[in-house]
Amino acid sequence: MVLSCLVIVFMGLQISLQTYLVLFCKERLFFSVSTAGYFLSLAHLGGVVGRLTWGPVSDFFFRGRRKVVLMMIGGLSSAICLSFVFLSPQFSTWSIIVLVFLFGFCAIGWDGIYLTLVAELAGKDRAGVATGISLSIAWVGIFFGPPFFGYIVDQTHSYSYAWLIFSIMTGLTTLCIGWLREPTRHLTE
């Protein structure tokens, strides 16, 4: 239940990225609408690659320690989100391409590791119910993340504050995940 509540922030960041990336690229970085749409597609591509990559990374490089990988994803998401605070039209398009792809890779590609961790925490007899309940709780972030992000932008007239606040929230959430106990059974056992 604690993990489910914590990842509300991850879900909020994911959907806020998907909701505001085109507007951010158009209004702050002065790209055309079609180029901004390309960046959204690139973030989604990064998410697909992330969803396919984080599992094997967890299995083969971290011996099935999902919590460590989820924390790594959260830390990277927070850092990349923070980098968006400083993006401006003066940055090279290639650097923005890399950042957008990596942001998608982490902030959209995280949920496979999370769901695996939930199932492992619950055990095989309760995995289905646990993932269903956990997703229902985590999806609260869908309803609160984008409106909160938009509210920050509207009140400050700047995307920088929204990215900064979401970076801080994601970073703090990632630290809290570190306090969770992970199952002792790993792939190597």
Nearest CA to 114 out of 174, 164, 32, 37 is that of 174
Q: Are 56 and 39 in contact (CB under 8 A)?
A: no
Full-model pTM:
0.93
Is the predicted pLDDT of residue 163 greater than 60, yes or no? Answer: yes
C-alpha–C-alpha distance, residues 167 and 49, integer Å: 22
C-alpha–C-alpha distance, residues 72 and 58, integer Å: 10
Please compute the mean of the pLDDT values over residues 60-66 and round it to a whole number. 94
C-alpha–C-alpha distance, residues 143 and 182, integer Å: 29
The pLDDT tens digits for 87-134 are 999 999 999 999 999 999 999 999 999 999 999 999 999 999 999 999
Neighbours of 187 (CB within 10 A): 11
Predicted local confidence at residue 185, as pLDDT: 57
The pLDDT tens digits for 15-44 are 999 999 999 999 999 999 999 999 999 999
CATH architecture entry for 2-177: Up-down Bundle (1.20)
Q: Are 44 and 22 in contact (CB under 8 A)?
A: no
Is the predicted pLDDT of residue 186 greater than 80, yes or no? Answer: no
Percent of the chain with pLDDT over 90: 93
Going by the DSSP 8-state scheme, the letter that residue 189 receives in this structure is -
pLDDT interval class at 189 (50, 70, 90): very low
Burial of 165 (0-12, 13-18, 19+ CB in 10 A): middle
Burial of 109 (0-12, 13-18, 19+ CB in 10 A): buried
Going by the DSSP 8-state scheme, the letter that residue 183 receives in this structure is P
Q: Residue 179 in 3-state DSSP?
A: coil
Is the predicted pLDDT of residue 169 greater than 70, yes or no? Answer: yes
Domain chopping of the chain, boundaries: 2-177
